[in-house]
Amino acid sequence: MIDDKTLVAQLKNTSSKEQAFRTLVSQYKERLYWHIRKIVRSHDDTDDVLQNTFIKVFKNIQNFKEESKLFSWMYRIATNEAITFLNKKAKKQHVSLEEIQEESASNLESDLYFTGDEIQLLLQQAVAKLPQKQQLVFNMKYFDGLKYTEISEILETSVGALKASYHHAVKKIETTLKTHC
């Protein structure tokens, strides 16, 4: 595993860019896949968004100022790509973003790639009913185990706002789960 500083230097060097990019994909594809999957919920849609994310990273690595971690920068791109994807899907189907999110959560039962049990399914459906920012914060904190400072870098918002969003998300999820259990 190559450290990020070395990897970024190799990515910015035209002679080593392609090999470094293969290394980058290898090191980060699984983490980014699951991050995106929690937002768009469909395996096929996740693959599309993941591919778009890596294309953006490849095309824009020269613009990466290294003021944040490479991981945070890529998570921000992945998050924005996933949100853009959902918004386009909602617009194309002439429905609200909330309807798209609830539909994708209700389709989890028939998703061949979803391996969770009944409680996991209920949790995912409860998360899908949250406002988008609360979903993002909850997923990054609860499932990805990120620190508030990391989430703050990714979402470009204050730690205090994130803590409030997470608290509200947890309360809403608890309420939803209590009514179903």
CATH number, domain containing residue 148: 1.10.10.10
Examine the fold and report which residue of 95, 115, 135 is the final residue of a domain before the chain moves on.
115
> How far apart are the C-alpha atoms of 38 and 125, rounded to whole Å?
11
Residue 151, pLDDT score: 95
Looking at 115, 135, 157, the residue that finishes a domain is 115
Interatomic CA distance for residues 138 and 150, integer angstroms: 13
Using CB atoms within 10 Å of the CB of residue 123, give its burial: 0 to 12 exposed, 13 to 18 middle, 19+ buried. Answer: buried
Q: What are the structure tokens assigned to 39, written together?
A: 């937002």
Same domain, 97 and 48: yes
* Model pLDDT, residue 81: 97
Indicate if the alpha-carbon torsion angle 94, 96, 100, 102 is positive or negative.
negative
Residues 20 and 71 in one domain: yes
CA angle at residue 178 from 172 to 181, to 5 degrees?
Answer: 140
pLDDT tens for residues 126-149?
A: 888 899 999 999 999 999 999 999
Residues 46 and 127 in one domain: no
Cα–Cα separations (whole angstroms), residue 33 to 30, 61, 75:
5, 19, 10
Residue 63 phi, psi (nearest 5): -85, -10
User: pLDDT tens for residues 65-116?
Assistant: 988 899 999 999 999 999 999 999 989 989 888 787 777 766 665 555 555 6
pLDDT (tens digit per residue) in 154-168: 999 999 999 999 999
Higher pLDDT, 49 or 2: 49
Q: What is the pLDDT of residues 6-60, one digit of tens each?
A: 999 999 999 999 999 999 999 999 999 999 998 998 888 999 999 999 999 999 9
Domain around 138? 116-181
Work out the angle between the directed axes of helices 70-93 and 17-40 (0-180°, nearest 10): 50
| pTM (2 d.p.) | 0.85
